[in-house]
Structure 1
């Protein structure tokens, strides 16, 4: 546990590429999702991703993603920090929370959450999380995402 009482998060430093910028000089919103993917793959590689994927192995598939952009990420030579942690664990799925940030400036560019599920490629169906996977996910368990602009949904009449 950290001094502020929060559970520690896993941090990945993801480099930005020149092509990540749009005409306004900031990192495009779609690229932010790619950066999250790079951080997720790096963080989960050892426990979930096979070195040589096979047709009868396991896939880790995205079921849902939600993202809230809080500040523009301006293109820069330094990598961007992405903190990630587990916000929920189910039978065959789990959710990862993320913050894309610059700690030196105290700035959070985006918050996001991804629902992932384990998929048996041979059976072509979701599979239950294994005990080793569950232990690793529990080690990363943390608080739920604190969405800034969550609103109740209403149906227009």
Structure 2
């Protein structure tokens, strides 16, 4: 049975979130020719970085200047639904589950380029930090505005 046959079909395209293209390269595969489990989170992070950069937010490497990028991962969960068995074009579906005062939870699906097949899914919890104290700090109003269309509707 092929990986495509094992992949979990996607739910109908959500009205929230965004499908971001990613590329799996030959060197992302493990010794068995499967996408290495540690590469999924890297690809998800790259997709988020590309999405925020496209929206005008970028990280320059300075904690004090990082703004909303001064954050830390509190929790990361992932479920591997089916193996990715070849390099090529794929996508990551991204959305915000919750956008709190100092924290947020985002959801993701690592999927086929068109979003029709799911290979892995999960969530990640981030906490915005004050660069001087490394204590929780509120997200900026700009960040909140830029993330509104990514929020999953409640109810």
Q: TM-score range by the shorter chain?
A: 0.7 to 0.9
Unpaired segments ≥5 residues, structure 2: 1-11
Residues in 1 aligned to 2:14 and 2:63: alpha-carbon distance in whole angstroms: 40
Matched, 1:62 2:70: no
Q: 2:148 aligns with which of 120, 131, 138?
A: 138
- TM-score (norm. length: structure 1): 0.78
Unpaired segments ≥5 residues, structure 1: 145-157
Deviation of the 1:8 alpha carbon? 3.3
Instruction: After TM superposition, list the pairs within 5 Å mapping 1:42-61 onto structure 2.
Output: 42-45=50-53, 46=55, 48-50=57-59, 52-57=60-65, 58=67, 59-61=70-72
What residue is the counterpart of 1:153 in the other structure? none
Q: 1:74 aligns with which of 85, 95, 103?
A: 85
Change in CA separation of 1:15 and 1:5 when aligned onto 2, cut-off 3 Å: closer
What residue is the counterpart of 1:120 in the other structure? 130
- TM-score (norm. length: structure 2): 0.79
What residue is the counterpart of 1:36 in the other structure? 44
Provide the aligned length of Structure 1 versus Structure 2. 139
Change in CA separation of 1:19 and 1:83 when aligned onto 2, cut-off 3 Å: same
RCO higher in structure (CA 8 A, sep ≥6): 2
